[in-house]
Structure 1
Amino acid sequence: MLNQYMQQIEAVGLDLFFAAIFFFIGMAIRDVLNQGNVPKFGRFIVWLVLFLGCAGFVVKGIIQMTWEGSGIG
């Protein structure tokens, strides 16, 4: 039974791994911004770039699931 779902388990595990990586990157960036006395505008730009990177990853996953569900990919 485990062999039947191995591909799904790997996909979910990879998604969770990337979510954890984004979390740790966010925590590291927060620490660097706090220690570096970065102005508010700079903090905003840094968090915007981090959010856009994460959003791009989520959108890629949604597009991939949509295409695979319709038989394109």
Structure 2
Amino acid sequence: MLYDYMNVLESVGLDLLFAAIFFLIGMAIKDVLNQANVPPFGRRIVWLVLFLGCAGFIAKGIIQISWEGTGL
């Protein structure tokens, strides 16, 4: 039974791993920004770059799902 769903479990586990990594990176960046007294403009740039990285990862997942649905 579990072997039948191995691909689904692997896919969900990998997505959860990436989400946890993004969360931990965000917490580390927040800590570094607070300790370094970075000005507000610099903080916004750092968070924008982190957000764009997450958005790119999500876009990749959506594109991958749509291509797999069409048979590419």
TM-score normalized by the length of structure 1: 0.97
Residue 34 of structure 1 deviates from its aligned partner by 0.3
Identity of aligned residues (%): 75
Unaligned runs of 5+ in 1: none
More helix by share: 2
2:41 maps to 1:35 = no
Amino acid in structure 1 at the alignment position of 2:70: S
CA RMSD of aligned residues (A): 0.4
Residue 26 of structure 1 deviates from its aligned partner by 0.1
Aligned to 1:16: 16
Aligned length: 72
Structure 1 segments (4+ residues) deviating >4 Å: none
How many Å separate the matches in 2 of 1:69 and 1:37? 47
Bigger relative contact order, structure 1 or 2, given CA contacts below 8 A and separation 6+?
A: 2
TM-score normalized by the length of structure 2: 0.98
How many Å separate the matches in 1 of 2:37 and 2:24? 20
How many Å separate the matches in 2 of 1:2 and 1:65? 23
How many Å separate the matches in 2 of 1:32 and 1:50? 14
